[in-house]
Amino acid sequence: MNHLLEIRNLQVELKTELGPVYPVQGADLIVRRGETLCLVGESGCGKSLTMMSVMGLLPPGSRIQADRFHLEGETLLTLDEHAYRKLRGPVIGMIFQDAMAAFNPVLRIGDQLAEPLRVHKGFSRKAAWVRAVEWLDRVGIVEPEKRARFYPHEFSGGMLQRAMIAMALITEPDLVIADEPTTALDVSVQAEILDLLRSLLSERQAGLVMITHDLGVVAEMADRVTVMYAGRTIEEASGAEFFARLSHPYSRGLMACTPNWRAGAVPVTPIPGLPPALTAVQTGCAFRFRCAEAMVICAEKPEITEVAAGHRVACWLNRKPDVLAAAVRGVDEEGAMDVDD
Amino acid sequence: MLTIEGVSKRFGSFMAVNDISFDVRAGEILALVGESGSGKTTVGRIIAGLEEKSSGSIALKGESLPNRYGKTEFRIWGKRIQMIFQNPLGALNPFFSSADVLAEALRFSGKKVTDVAIDHWLAEVGLQSFHRHRLPHQLSGGQRQRLVIARALCMEPDLIVCDEPVSALDVSIQAQILALLKRLRDEKGVSLLFITHDLNVVRQIADRVLVMNRGVRVELADTATVFENPSHDYTRQLLEACPVPEYQAKQQETSA
C-alpha cells in the first residue's frame, strides 16, 4: 500500500494572458518502487504538466488541488520552493527529451554531472569528478575519463542522452521522471537507452515515470500504463492487462493509429479531430466528440471505476448493465440533454 | 522514372554515400531506411539538388540532372523534384500566410495564381478556405505539414523527396498525414522517396524498401520481402530494434 508516488484527482489551473486554463482535470496515477509507469496520450493531454507539478516546476501563479498528492506517504501540496529544491535531484531525477537543451553548453560534461553531488551530497570537487567519470562509464560511454572533459557539442545525440541519464541518476533518486526520453533518437540507440534505464533502475528499486505517446515503447517498458485524455486519467492498468484488454475507446484509437510492422501492411486508422483546448473544466466525457461509440449518456462524466483487478477505466461502455441502466434513467428524468456541441 | 547510378558523396575524407544505385518507379513509394549517419538524408538532398554529388549520375525520365544547382537549374528542376522536411515550421516563412506560400509556389512553377487554385490545393490536403490567411504559427503541427505538402504538390512534380515527414508529429496526426500521402500518390501518380528510420511507418506506406548502412546499399526489395524475409543481418537487426506495440513479458524476465 505504500506507494512511491500517489496522485488522486489532481487539478491544475494555470494563468495565461488569455485567462485561466485547466490543463489537468483529474489525473490519477500510482508509481511503486522498482516499477515503470508509462504515461500515455497525445500532445496537450496534460501528461507533462502532471509530472511538472510533481517536480514543483509549474509557472508562478498556478494553482493545484488534489485528493492525494503524496511522495512516499508525504504530501507535496504544502511544499515551498525551498523544500522542493532539496527534493529535485536527490529524491526526484529528471530526464528530458532534448538533451542538447538540458546541458549548459559552456561547461564540461563531467562538471555538470558532478554539480548535484557537490550541492546535495556534500562531495568534494575531486570526489564528485571521480563519481561523474564512474557514471559515464556505467551508462556505456567509452573512454569516460577523456569524455568527461568534453563539452556538450562534442557529444553525439545518443551520447548526450546517456550523459543526461547519468546526470539524473547520479544522486540516486527514488523517482525518475523521463519526458519522451528517446523520441529524438535512432531506433537502435533507442533500444539500448531503454535497456540501460531499465537495468539501472531495477538495480536500485527506484520508480520510473515515462511520458510517451509511442505505444511501441510502452509495450517494451511498462509495468503499468496510465492513459490521459484532456487532462484526465481515463484508463490505468498493468502493462500486460492494458495490451490484452484495451478498454477505453481512446486507448483503442491510439492503438489503431500506431503502425506495427509485425502486423503486416494493415492500414492505420487516424482518430478524427484534435484534443479539446482546456480553457474550461470539461463536462461529461471529453472524448465523446471524437468517439465512434459515443452515446447520449456520455454527456455525463463517467467516474473512473475498476473493471478488473488493478484495471480502472472512465467510460460508460465499461459499466455494468445495471449501473448504466440506472444512469440512463437518471438522464431521461432530467429530460433535455445538455450536450454543448 | 528516376535512375541513380553509382552516386557517391565525400565530405573531406568521410564517404557519406558510397556508390549507390537504385531507381524510383513512376507512382511508387520507395522508402529509404537506415540509422543516423547511414547517408540516407544525403542521398535525398543530392536528388533534390541541395547537395553536390562527388561522382555518379542521376536521370529523371531519361534526362540527366545537373551536378551543381544555381538559379537556372532550380527553376527547371525545382518544380519537378520537390522536398518535404521533418520540421514544417522551419520550412515555412513566418511572415507568409498559407495563401502566400501557395501563390509563390504556383508562380514559381509557371501556373496561374487564382483564389480558386489556392482553395483547390488547400482542399487537396484537407485544409479549408479559412486557413488561407493563417500564418505558420497560427496553424497546428499537422496543419503546417499539410501546407508544406500542398506547396510541394501544387507544382505537380514527378517526385517528392520526403525526409522524415511524420517523425515530429503525434501518433494520431502521423496517421492522418500518412493516409494523405498515400491518397495523393494514388490520385496524382506522383512518386515519393520516403526517408525515415521508423520501420513501423515504412511497413504501412512503402511499395519497396532500400536499406542503407554507412553510406552503402544493403538491400532493395519489395516491402513484404524486406519485412518477412530480410536477406541481410543488418536489416534483421534494424527490425529487431524497432519497438512494436505488442506486450512482451520482457521486463519481468530481466528484473526477475
Task: Read off the CATH number of the domain in which A47 is found.
Answer: 3.40.50.300
Our count of domains for chain A comes to 2
Answer CATH for B1-80+157-242 from 1.10.150.110, 3.40.50.300, 3.40.630.30, 1.20.1050.10: 3.40.50.300
Q: Provide, as residue numbers in chain B, all residues whose Cβ is less than 8 Å from the Cβ of A245.
A: none
Helix B141-153 and helix B98-108, axial crossing angle in degrees, nearest 10: 20
ipTM: 0.82
* Cell 533502475 -> residue: A201
A contact residues 191-250, partner B, Cβ 8 Å cutoff? 191, 194, 198-199, 202, 213-223, 239-240, 242-244
> CA-CA distance, B222 to B237, in Å (whole number)?
18
- Mean of the pLDDT values across residues B134-150? 91
- Return the pLDDT at A328: 66
* Residue of A35, A37, A183, A187 best to disrupt the B interface, most CBs of B under 10 A: A187
Comparing CB atoms, the residue among B172, B199, B243 nearest residue A220 is B243
- Label residue B42 by pLDDT band (50, 70, 90): very high
Q: Assess whether A62 and A211 both reside in one domain.
A: yes
Q: Assess whether A200 and A255 both reside in one domain.
A: yes
Q: How far is A302 from chain B (nearest CA, A)?
A: 24
Q: Do A261 and B254 make contact, defined as CB atoms within 8 angstroms?
A: no
Residue A155 lies in a domain: yes
A190, closest residue in chain B (CA to CA): B241
Of A267, A282, A297, the last residue of a domain is A282
Residue A275 lies in a domain: yes
Q: Assess whether A52 and A85 both reside in one domain.
A: yes
Q: Assess whether A154 and A215 both reside in one domain.
A: no
Residue A22 confidence (pLDDT) above 60: yes
Q: Provide, as residue numbers in chain A, all residues whose Cβ is less than 8 Å from the Cβ of B201.
A: 259
Comparing CB atoms, the residue among A242, A257, A261 nearest residue B203 is A261
B204, closest residue in chain A (CA to CA): A265
- Return the pLDDT at A82: 92
Q: Assess whether A196 and A162 both reside in one domain.
A: no
Flag the least confident range among A142-151, A157-166, B144-153. Answer: A157-166
Q: Assess whether A12 and A157 both reside in one domain.
A: no
Check if A182 contacts B (Cβ < 8 Å). no
Residue A125 lies in a domain: yes
Comparing CB atoms, the residue among B203, B245, B247 nearest residue A265 is B203
- What are the residue ranges of helices labelled H in B49-198? 71-77, 88-91, 98-108, 115-124, 141-153, 171-188
Residue A290 lies in a domain: no
Q: Assess whether A87 and A197 both reside in one domain.
A: yes
Check if A34 contacts B (Cβ < 8 Å). yes
Asked if A310 and A241 touch (Cβ cutoff 8 Å), the reply is yes
* Residue of A261, A262, A271, A289 best to disrupt the B interface, most CBs of B under 10 A: A261
Residue B156: which residues within 8 A CB-CB, separation 6 or more? Answer: B79, B109, B188, B190
- Return the pLDDT at A236: 96
Q: Assess whether A131 and A215 both reside in one domain.
A: no
> CA-CA distance, A337 to B227, in Å (whole number)?
51
> CA-CA distance, A177 to B16, in Å (whole number)?
37
| Largest distance between two CA atoms of chain A | 74
- Looking at chain B, the domain(s) classified CATH 3.40.50.300 span 1-80+157-242
Q: Is B252 exposed, middle or buried (0-12, 13-18, 19+ CB in 10 A)?
A: exposed
Q: Assess whether A153 and A61 both reside in one domain.
A: no
Residue A104 lies in a domain: no
Q: Assess whether A252 and A273 both reside in one domain.
A: yes
Q: Residue A194: which of A204, A185, A203 has the closest Cα?
A: A185
- Label residue A336 by pLDDT band (50, 70, 90): very low
Give the C-alpha distances (Å, rounded to integers) separating B93 from A61, A300, B103, B144, B169: 35, 44, 13, 11, 20
Residue A329 confidence (pLDDT) above 70: no
- Return the pLDDT at A140: 86
Asked if A45 and A24 touch (Cβ cutoff 8 Å), the reply is no
Q: Assess whether A278 and A205 both reside in one domain.
A: yes
**To 10 degrees, the CA torsion angle through A218, A220, A222, A227?**
10
Q: Do B242 and A261 make contact, defined as CB atoms within 8 angstroms?
A: yes
Check if B178 contacts A (Cβ < 8 Å). yes
Helix A157-169 and helix A125-138, axial crossing angle in degrees, nearest 10: 130
Of A238, A254, A282, the last residue of a domain is A282
Check if B235 contacts A (Cβ < 8 Å). no
Residue A74 lies in a domain: yes
- Mean of the pLDDT values across residues B213-234? 94
> CA-CA distance, A319 to A314, in Å (whole number)?
9
Q: Provide, as residue numbers in chain A, all residues whose Cβ is less than 8 Å from the Cβ of B227.
A: 261, 264
Residue A309 confidence (pLDDT) above 70: yes
Domain that holds residue A140: 109-169
Q: Do B243 and A191 make contact, defined as CB atoms within 8 angstroms?
A: yes
Of A130, A146, A169, the last residue of a domain is A169
Asked if A156 and A54 touch (Cβ cutoff 8 Å), the reply is no
H or E element, residue A99 = helix A99-102
Q: Assess whether A34 and A133 both reside in one domain.
A: no
> CA-CA distance, A158 to A67, in Å (whole number)?
40
B249, closest residue in chain A (CA to CA): A240
B contact residues 111-130, partner A, Cβ 8 Å cutoff? none
